[in-house]
Amino acid sequence: MEEKIVFCKGGGCTAKLGAGALSRVLSLLPKGEPDPNLLIGYDSKDDAAVYRLNDELAYVQTLDFFPPMVDDPYTFGKIAAANALSDIYAMGGTVTTALNIVCFPEQMDLNILGEIMRGGAEKVIEAGGSLAGGHSIADADVKYGLSVTGVVHPDRIYPNNQGRPGDQLILTKRLGVGILCTANRVGEASAQAMEDAIASMTQLNKYAAECCRGYSIHACTDVTGFGLLGHLHEMMDGRLSCVIHASQVPVFPEALVHAGEFLLTAAGQRNRNHAGPFVTFQDIPFPMEEVLFDPQTSGGLLIALSREEAPKLLSDLRAIGQPAQIIGEILEKAGQEILVTSE
């Protein structure tokens, strides 16, 4: 009997290698002569690479692909593309071109692949980019994503680690999609919760990034596989601290329910192991801790900007329907890097 191929085995950004393991590998790579035009490379743990072409133009390069986290191929294609495109927006850039990255079993119905790529193509078009080609290989499991190129002015890049003490931290999307997708695979997530999660994962960060252009953004990243606390750890960069007010963090309510039922991800536990030593929780329930470590697929932007500008940006984000919140503040470096309070 021919073995049945299961389309969704669990994927999205829960499939990422743990941050600690990845850092150890990257630290062993040989380095060539420094290039003054490479403005951001992998050593900064940022969302994408940025290379300066001239005083007015730099290009932004990123790629992202993963296995499905939902059962519908078309929806999976949209989510995977939105997730890959997000890195360009997190750097302050504009999308120009994209290339498909496809791993697909030879014995699987090619109509499934067509639906995945249709979903991805629609998101590239929505982003204002051109789908210019790609590469495919035969594989045991389905994987899909994009290699994306964008452009940005060299003086208007959003690094992830240049926040300043006093900056407010804004998060533009709700947390908990990793836990909801895990619950969905075992039949525990409600149809409404998955509908809401899919709407969030398929929404481009383009619109939040456009709101940011009128402000002095000091630091920005998108919250994906390392969870909110893992990406905050990268943002603090060993030289800053921050306080996060858990009551202000936007969360999918049902994700808290399933976290309390221990419907968790292995990636979330890797995030806890890596970032947990840098975090102090003050009266935070276990389910909320798990949501803060939960790997997000196509998560929101985490933005650092001045206390004076943050309320106006928040108002602009909410005006376009973003469930954004000011979730905390960057502080001078203290004994504990990330403090999470129940306020």
State how far the Cα of 272 lies from the Cα of 284, in Å rounded to an integer. Answer: 15
Q: SS3 sequence, 147-169? A: EEEEEECHHHCCCCCCCCCCCEE
Residue with tokens 């059962």: 71
Please work out, in degrees rounded to the nearest 5, the angle formed at the alpha carbon of residue 26 by the alpha carbons of 226 and 60: 70
Please work out, in degrees rounded to the nearest 5, the angle formed at the alpha carbon of residue 159 by the alpha carbons of 99 and 63: 15
State how far the Cα of 313 lies from the Cα of 321, in Å rounded to an integer. Answer: 13
Residue with tokens 């790579």: 29
- The b-or-e profile of 16-27 (16+ CB within 10 A means b, else e) is bebbeeeeeeee
Query: Virtual CA dihedral for 314, 89, 204, 22, nearest 10 degrees?
Result: -110
Query: Virtual CA dihedral for 115, 119, 125, 129, nearest 10 degrees?
Result: -100
Q: What is the CA radius of gyration of the chain?
A: 19
From the list 42, 41, 48, 144, the residue with the least C-alpha distance to 95 is: 48
Catalytic residue, from 13, 211, 220, 242: name it.
13
For 206-210, the CB contacts below 8 A with 24+ separation are 206/85, 206/89, 206/95, 206/126, 206/127, 206/128, 207/320, 207/322, 208/89, 208/172, 208/300, 208/301, 208/317, 208/320, 208/322, 208/324, 209/89, 209/90, 209/92, 209/301
Query: Would residue 13 show up in a list of annotated catalytic residues for this protein?
Result: yes
Catalytic residue list: 13
